[in-house]
Amino acid sequence: MVYLTKKMHFSASHRLYNPLLNEEENLKLFKKCANKNGHGHNFTLEVTVCGEINPKTGYLIDLKELKEIININVIELLDHSNLNIDIDFFKNVIPTSENIALFAWKALENKIPNAKLYKIKIAESETSAVEYYGN
Ligand code: NI
């Protein structure tokens, strides 16, 4: 079994806000992240897949093919978007890195031929990241 990771980037804005709480509670909980007009990040997405090496190619999966799958299913949707407004998934889900990882998992699960999705990693800065393994 081998593991292969593709790292990609997207830029998006978001606002952390729980509609079940009032304005004051949201500001207390999320601080500046709850500011009305949102703020942006340059996110890093890492997708790790695993499986057996194909003896014909020596590859697990062609990296170009994996990049294209991630592009179509995640990057093109999220890049330069306002996550809260543009992405249906976040209509009722707070667009934290944690939930973006869930979104990416759902978007890529079962989309990768000859390999299994193993891990999604989302980082909104160099010093912090979320990892999701599908459960
Ligand atoms: Ni943020």
**Interatomic CA distance for residues 38 and 71, integer angstroms:** 25
How many angstroms is it from 119 CA to the middle of ligand 1?
22
In sequence order, the β-bridge partners of residue 48 are: 5, 119
Q: What are phi and psi of 65, to 5 degrees?
A: -70, -45
> Which among 131, 109, 134 has a CA at the least distance from the CA of 121?
131
How many angstroms is it from 16 CA to the middle of ligand 1?
7
Domains of the chain, each with CATH number or no CATH: 2-132 (3.30.479.10)
Q: Does the reported pTM lie above 0.85? A: yes
Residue 129 has a pLDDT of: 97
CB atoms within 10 A of CB 116: 15
In this structure, what token pair is assigned to residue 93?
């889900």
Catalytic center residues: 33, 80, 124
How many angstroms is it from 111 CA to the middle of ligand 1?
28
Each residue's pLDDT tens digit in the chain (135 positions)? 999 999 999 999 999 999 999 999 999 999 999 999 999 999 999 999 999 999 999 999 999 999 999 999 999 999 999 999 999 999 999 999 999 999 999 999 999 999 999 999 999 999 999 999 998
How many angstroms is it from 96 CA to the middle of ligand 1?
7
**Interatomic CA distance for residues 93 and 75, integer angstroms:** 19
**Interatomic CA distance for residues 19 and 13, integer angstroms:** 18
**Interatomic CA distance for residues 106 and 39, integer angstroms:** 25
Residue 121 has a pLDDT of: 98
